[in-house]
Amino acid sequence: MCGIVGYVGPQNALDVVLEGLRRLEYRGYDSAGVAVLAEGGMATAKKAGKLANLEKALVEEPLPAATIGIGHTRWATHGGPTDRNAHPHLSADGKVALVHNGIIENFAALRAECETAGVEFTSETDTEVAAHLLASAYAETPEGPGRLAEAMRAVSNRLEGAFTLVASHADEPDTLVASRRNSPLVVGLGETVDGTAEYFLGSDVAAFIAHTREARELGQDQVVEIDRTRGLTVTDFAGTVVEPTAYTVDWDAAAAEKGGHAWFMLKEIAEQPQAVADTLLGRLGDDGGLVLDEVRLSDQDLRDIDKVFVVSCGTSYHAGLIAKYAIEHWTRIPVEVEVASEFRYRDPVLDRSTLVVVISQSGETMDTLMALRHAKDQKARVLAICNVNGSTIPRESDAVLYTHAGPEIAVASTKSFLAQIVACYLVGLFLAQVRGVKYDDEVAAIVEDLRRLPEAVSEVLLQMEPVRELGRSLAGADTILFLGRHVAYPVALEGALKLKELAYIHAEGFAAGELKHGPIALIDQGTPVVVVVPSPRARESVHGKVVSNIQEVRARGARTIVIAEEGDEDVVPYADHIIRVPRTPTLMAPIVTTVPLQVLACEIADTRGYDVDQPRNLAKSVTVE
C-alpha cells in the first residue's frame, strides 16, 4: 500500500525522490520520509501526515546535496502514523536506511532476536526489524562487489509475508539494493542530456515517468542491485543472476496530472469515455473474432470449462457481480462471484474445468493474488483482468485482458471500474465465441453495442451539473440508501461504496426486491434513497417491480432520487429528483448509470470539506492481506 522511490544518478536525489513521492502519495499518506547518502553519511527526514508536512520540514531544515536517495509515503499497518514510525528506518549504527511496503509476518520473533542481541528499537513498526537485520547481515558478509545485495538476499530469505525493501548503506555510497516478494517494485532506466546513466526504483512507474519510460519488471523473490559504475544486476534470492523483463510505458507524466480539474477523481471521471474506448480498441479481429491481450490457453481448454469463478475485492468485486449476469447470459456457464479475501479460506471446489477470473486494477491486490495462487495450486485455469502492464497478477495468470484505462491516481476507483466491466463483457463474449454458443456476427453486433458506450458516457457527463447541485443539497445527510435490481443491483452497491469511501456517510446498497425483508425499516422522513431503475426492456418486467419499490419508500417519507433511462415516464410521479441516462442494451446499462453516482459522491464529499482523492484510512493498492 505504501509508495517507494529510489534514485541513483547525477541529479539532485532529493528533488527526484520528492517528485516521485508526490505521484505515489495516493498509495498512502499517513506519513512520509526520505534518506539521502551524502559525503557526511546518511541524512534523513520524516514527518507524520501528508507529504506537504515533510516538504515544509525540509525547507526549515534542508538535507545535504546528494545523488543517491530513497523515499517513502506510508499507509500505516504496524504502529500508528507518527514521526517515529515513518520510514526510512535506520540501523542502530545509522549506516543503513531502509523503506518497506508490505507486512513482515514473522517480525515479532525477529524483533525478539534483535533485542536479545542488544538492539534498541525506536519504532513500533515491523520494518525496523529489516533495517537492523540488514546491518547485521552486511557486517557478516565479506567485502567486495555486491556485498550489500548479498546481505539483502540473506535478510529476504529470513522474512515471511509480503514485502518490498529498498535500502542504502553509508559504506557503499554508489549503491542501492531492493528486494520484492508479493509486493510491487519496478525499475526505471534513464539517461541525462549528457549521456550519464541514471536509475529509478518505484512502487509503480508513476514514480519516475517524468524522467523515463523504459522500465524493468522485477519478478517474485528477486533482488536488484543498482550500482553507479556496474549498472543494474538482478538475482533471485539464491543469488542466481536473472534477466528482468523490459517494457516501455505507454503513457506520460501529463496523464498523471489533474488537467485543470479540482480533483484527480474528477479528471478520471471525465476520462471514462476514453478509458472504455481504449479497452475496446483492437478487440475485433479481421475474421470477426475477438482478440484478447495474452491467452496462454487453447480453445479446447476454454471449451472444457464448466464453471467460472470471478474473484476480486471492493469496486472490482462489483464489476464481477455485473460480469455474472453477462457471462451466464451469453455462455450458459454457471458463474460464482467471490470476495477474494474469503475465496481460498472456504476451500472452494476447483479443478481443470474451472476458470477463475481475477480482477485487479493494480495487479498487486494481495487478497486477489493469494486467491489466484490457490486456484493455480488446485489446477484451475486463471484469466486476469488488470490495468497495469507487467504487474504480478497478470504475470502469474494463464490469460490476461488489460483494461488500458491509463493511470488512476484517486484512491476511489472510477474509470477502472467501467473499463473492468467492459473487459468482463469481452471475456464473456470470447468464451461464447470459442465455445460456439454465439456466432461471429452475433459477437460483432454486441461489440458494436459496446463501441457506442463511450459516446453514451460522454452524453451523461454533459448533464452532470444538476447532479452536482443535488450533491451539495445532500451533504448534510446522515444516511443514504441505494436500491437496484438485475445489473442495477451491483451499481447500487458501488454507489454506496463510493459514498462511504469519500464522504464518510453511512450508505448501504440493497437488491430492491429485498426491501420488504428488512431494509425498509431504515426509511425515515427525508431519508435520501437513490434508485437505479433497470430499463423497461429488462427481463421479466423487473422494471415495474422497481417502480413499485420507489412508491413504497416514498410513501414512508423517503426523498427519492431516481436514475432512469431517457423516455422512462413510469418513474416520474414518484421521483423527487430524476437523473436521466441514455438508452442502452440492458446488460450495458451499468456503464452509464454508474457515472452519476460517482459524481454525486464526489460532490457530497467536496461539500463536506473532505479530500476526495485521498480519503482517510484508505490506500489505492491494497498489497497486504
Domains of the chain: 3-255 (3.60.20.10), 258-451 (3.40.50.10490), 461-625 (3.40.50.10490)
Contact 29, 76 (CB under 8 A): no
Mean pLDDT score, 143-148 = 96
C-beta separation of 503 from 512 below 8 A: no
Q: What is the CA radius of gyration of the chain?
A: 25
| Kind and range of the H or E run holding 381 | strand 381-386
Reading the block at residue 590, the C-alpha cell is 451499468
Distance of CA 365 to the CA centre of its chain: 7
For residues 385 and 403, the answer to whether their CB atoms sit within 8 Å is yes
User: What's the gap between Cα 297 and its chain centre?
Assistant: 26
Contacts of 560 (CB under 8 A, 6+ apart): 529, 531, 550, 553, 554, 574, 575, 576, 577
Q: What does the longest C-alpha to C-alpha distance in the chain come to?
A: 82
More confident residue, 486 or 296: 486
Region 285-305: mean pLDDT is 83
DSSP 65: P
Taking only the tens place, the pLDDT of each residue in 360-402 is: 999 999 999 999 999 999 999 999 999 987 788 999 999 999 9
Let me know the angle formed at the C-alpha of 482 by 481 and 488, rounded to the nearest 5 degrees. Answer: 170
Antiparallel, parallel or unpaired: β 197-202 and 41-48: unpaired
Instruction: Provide mean pLDDT across the span 423-437.
Output: 94
Residues taking part in catalysis: 2, 620
| Identity at 293, one-letter amino acid code | D
Give the integer Cα–Cα distance in Å for 468 and 458.
Answer: 16
Q: Region 549-561: what's the mean pLDDT?
A: 96
Task: Give the percent of the chain with pLDDT over 70.
Answer: 98
Spatial contact of 491 and 532, defined as CB atoms under 8 Å apart: yes
| Per-residue cell: 149 | 545485495
Average pLDDT, integer, range 92-114: 94
pTM exceeds 0.75: yes
Higher per-residue pLDDT: 538 or 21: 21
Sequence-distant (6+) residues with CB within 8 A of 591 are: 276, 418, 421, 422, 453, 456, 457, 584
Percent of the chain's residues with pLDDT above 90: 81
Which of the four pLDDT bands, split at 50, 70 and 90, describes residue 180?
very high
Contacts of 60 (CB under 8 A, 6+ apart): none
Tens-digit pLDDT profile for residues 31-72: 999 999 998 899 999 999 999 999 999 999 999 999 999 999
Of 54, 66, 50, 23, the C-alpha closest to 168 is 66
> Across residues 511-531, what is the average pLDDT?
94
pLDDT at 323: 97
- pLDDT tens, position by position, 557-610: 999 999 999 999 999 999 999 999 999 999 999 999 999 999 999 999 999 999
Q: Are 561 and 528 in contact (CB under 8 A)?
A: yes
Sign of CA dihedral 314, 315, 318, 323: negative
Task: Supply the pLDDT for residue 574.
Answer: 96
The pLDDT-based confidence of 192 (bands split at 50, 70, 90) is: confident
Q: What value does the mean pLDDT take over residues 190-198?
A: 90
| pLDDT of 624 higher than 80 | no
* Per-residue confidence (pLDDT) for residue 623, from 0 to 100: 66
- Is residue 1's pLDDT more than 80? no
CA distances from 155 to 91, 110, 112 (A): 14, 11, 16
Which residue, among 475, 491, 471, has the nearest Cα to 483 in the 3D structure?
A: 491
pLDDT surpasses 70 at 357 = yes
Q: How far apart are CA 128 and CA 149, in angstroms?
A: 18
The mean per-residue pLDDT over the stretch 526-535 comes to 96
Residue 530, all three cell numbers: 437513490
Sign of the torsion formed by the C-alpha atoms of 556, 560, 564 and 569? positive
For residue 252, what pLDDT band results from cuts at 50, 70 and 90?
confident
CA distance 228 to 239: 20
Predicted pLDDT at 183: 84
- pLDDT exceeds 90 at position 285: no
Closest by CA position to 472, among listed 304, 287, 599: 599
* Encoded amino acid at 45, one letter: A
pLDDT at 257 exceeding the cut of 90: no
Of the candidates 565, 561, 560, 568, the residue with the CA atom closest to the CA atom of residue 591: 565
Please tell me the predicted confidence (pLDDT) of residue 565.
95
Burial class (CB in 10 A: 0-12, 13-18, 19+), 577: middle
Give 213: exposed, middle or buried? Use CB within 10 Å, 0-12, 13-18, 19+: middle
Q: What pLDDT is stored for residue 441 in this prediction?
A: 87
Q: How far apart, in whole angstroms, are the C-alpha atoms of residue 118 and residue 568?
A: 74
Taking 80 as the threshold, does the pLDDT of residue 539 lie above it? no
